[in-house]
A and B are shown apart, each in its own frame.
Chain A
């Protein structure tokens, strides 16, 4: 099993550009999460999903959209990137009935 994978690993955008980050998991997990990690801030939840076709806002959702059309995939979109969205983005998943989350390797995004 590959676990949780994230695409791409690195990306540089110009202000105003759009992009989509892909998270995929092959563990048949119901729950999926998108976080951002900034220096000194720990991880902050952007959006999450409790199952295919459902999404919900986390602590810092502004400027991001998500979709969960397939159970194994959770997409994070930036419609108009801003320098404040420069960060490392992590995806995680977990099965229903347990509390442990499994993390992907991260995507380092720089917005110029």
Chain B
């Protein structure tokens, strides 16, 4: 399987703390994306970072990409209870398809 790995599998934090999750992938890429999934719902796109970028910000989200290590991280700053969800990275593998990681379950306690 070419499926990526995410670390940690689960993360529990208090509101106001920062949450960091990591993604490792196996193939060369054009870009890497992060998606969020609330329980029982479909995935929602959060942010995309291209292979020639090292860092990208969007609101409280910060994504880094290290193509030499085939890894990425997603940082959510000042987390809120509403951030409770599963987070998935996805890579394109230079194709028309996406390869998803196994996901990180984030629980933010009020």
- Chain A interface residues toward B at CB < 8 A: 4, 31, 33, 35, 40-45, 48, 50, 58-59, 90, 92, 99-106
Contact = CB atoms under 8 A, between A and B. Distances in A.
A48 B45 contact: no
Contacts of A42: 3-4, 88, 100-103
B33 interface: yes
Nearest to B47: A100
A43 B88 contact: yes
Interface residues of B, number: 26
Contacts of A103: 35, 42-44
B88 A90 contact: no
A106 B42 contact: yes
B60 interface: no
B42 A33 contact: no
Contacts of A41: 3, 102
A94 B1 CA distance: 24
Given A42-B88, A44-B3, A90 B101 contact: no
Contacts of B98: 33, 45, 101
Given A35-B100, A40-B102, A42-B100, 17 more contacts: A31-B96, A33-B97, A40-B9, A42-B3, A42-B102, A44-B100, A45-B98, A45-B99, A90-B42, A100-B45, A100-B48, A101-B98, A102-B45, A103-B42, A103-B43, A103-B44, A104-B42
Contacts of B35: 103
Contacts of B69: none
Interface in B86-102: 88, 92, 96-102
B65 to A, nearest CB: 14
Contacts of A92: 42-43
A44 B90 CA distance: 11
Contacts of A33: 97-98
Nearest to A98: B48
